[in-house]
Amino acid sequence: MRFSVAKLSSCIYASWCHQQLRFIAKVRLKWVKNRSLDHIIDTETELKAACLLKDAIKRSSTGFLTSKSVADWQKLLGLTVPVLRFLRRYPTLFHEFPHARYASLPCFKLTDAALLLDSQEHNIHQAHQDDTVDRLCRVLMMTHGRMLPLQSLHPLKWDLGLPDDFHTTLVTKYPAYFSLVNSANGIPCLRLLQWRDDLAVSQLQRSNQAGNEYRKFKQGQTALAFPMNFPRGYGAQKKVKAWMDEFHKLPYISPYEDCSRIDPNSELMEKRVVGVLHEILSLTIHKKTKRNYLRGLREQLNLPHKFTRLFTRYPGIFYLSLKCKTTTVALKEGYRRGKLVSPHPLTRIREKYYHVMRTGLLYRNKGINLIPPEALLLDGQDNETDQDDSHDEDEDEDEMHNESWEGDNSGSDED
């Protein structure tokens, strides 16, 4: 049975109503750069582009892509360099050869190393398909009508760890859960057919289930607090601490609960929106995604028009990065010292992809045949580059400029 505000005890709901009348002091914080998270976002942008190109080559009926066919994909892939230059940068993944009819037209197919990694990735998708289904169900359970347009889901498939053809394979294999339907305006959508009580528990609730605070929360005696990781020097400020104490005193509303009776302009609704964004980012396997992807879910998740300002209003929970000419939001609790706290199996295979990419970059000027085969796929070498390049998060947070966190600093990507 789905939770709702109306099903809570009258005393708890009265407390909610009282809390909605409170006003939390608006604290303005300066924008602080986190070099550790920026580095991760920078490297994984190219990793994601390589994986998307790999999937596009696999989907091609010819088994290869021409430079002409991908020439206008630069923005789509989030690259800061032309796609042709990017493909040539990583010869260990993409093998270049001339077109059979047009000798001057470069073509690219997958190398043996890329095909082997793709096979391993497929095996991981198969072995962890139940987890993938649960994650997709949770996303749909947070939406209005338990339905999302495919055009909003497709940009998120890499972040959510969905297989490239999820909209066909998962619907076919799990017809009791998913269905492809058209919305009232004819847009193809993925719909969840069954509400699952076992999944209607947020990540924040799951991470607190073993503690005494969670028992008090279930009894309506306290509210759950979001983990906070402020930039150095901010968490100790009295005004910031007072602000967060007031924020945490507000009741926590699970993103799977009905919020129709909450004042949309209240502080309680703001905390509910923070909870929804926290849950969405928790469901991504890298604990981050592009802000525009979340904006595409705004109506379905019942988010306010300018909800992305919450990312900069709560820098203890979220980090907003402007790397790679886009805006990426990360969940700070998902990382510790430049590493994922709880890496998903898919992140391991993606580390292998990145190791192969880096190997190709290092040997690019010496010839692809000089790369020792054992250097491509050994498990022990997956994280060498990451370890060399990682930064101590506590030491590498520097103030970027004196713009406030509440300001708009992202150019065309803003609300």
Q: How confident is the model at residue 12 (pLDDT cuts 50, 70, 90)?
A: very low
Res. 164: pLDDT tops 50: yes
In a domain, residue 147? The reply is yes
Tell me the average pLDDT across 139-167. 94
Residues 192-195: contacts with CB within 8 Å, 24+ apart? 192/137, 192/140, 192/141, 192/146, 192/147, 195/2, 195/141, 195/146
Give the residue numbers spanning the domain of 174.
131-196
**DSSP 8-class letter at 405:** T
In a domain, residue 184? The reply is yes
**DSSP 8-class letter at 251:** P
Q: Return the SS3 of 42.
A: helix
In a domain, residue 304? The reply is no
H or E element that contains 88? helix 83-89
Domain containing residue 154: CATH number: 3.30.420
Is residue 94 within 8 A of residue 132, CB to CB? The reply is no
The beta strands (E) that lie in 249-362 are given as 288-290, 318-321, 328-331, 335-336, 339-340
In a domain, residue 178? The reply is yes
Task: Write the pLDDT tens digit of every residue in 53-93.
Answer: 999 999 999 999 999 999 999 999 999 899 999 999 999 89
- In the beta sheet, which residues pair with residue 191? 147, 179
Q: Report CA torsion sign: 29, 326, 47, 294.
A: positive
Tell me the average pLDDT across 98-117. 93
Answer whether 0.85 is exceeded by the pTM. no
Task: Write the pLDDT tens digit of every residue in 217-249.
Answer: 554 545 788 998 877 766 557 777 788 888 888
- Buried (b) or exposed (e) across 304-337, using 16+ Cβ within 10 A? eeebbbbbbbbbbbbbbbbbbebbbbbbbbbbee
Is residue 46 within 8 A of residue 389, CB to CB? The reply is no
- Quick one: pLDDT at residue 383? 43
Q: What percent of the chain has pLDDT over 90?
A: 54
In a domain, residue 179? The reply is yes
Phi, psi torsion values for 402, nearest 5 degrees: -95, 15
In a domain, residue 65? The reply is no
Task: Write the pLDDT tens digit of every residue in 234-290.
Answer: 655 777 778 888 888 888 889 999 888 889 889 899 999 999 999 999 999 999 999
Name, in order, each residue with C-beta under 8 angstroms of 258's C-beta and a sequence gap of 6 or more. 2, 3, 4, 5, 6
State the total domains in the chain. 1
- Quick one: pLDDT at residue 375? 52
In a domain, residue 176? The reply is yes
Res. 99: pLDDT tops 50: yes
Tell me the average pLDDT across 333-350. 92
- Quick one: pLDDT at residue 225? 86
In a domain, residue 192? The reply is yes
Tell me the average pLDDT across 108-135. 95
Res. 410: pLDDT tops 60: no
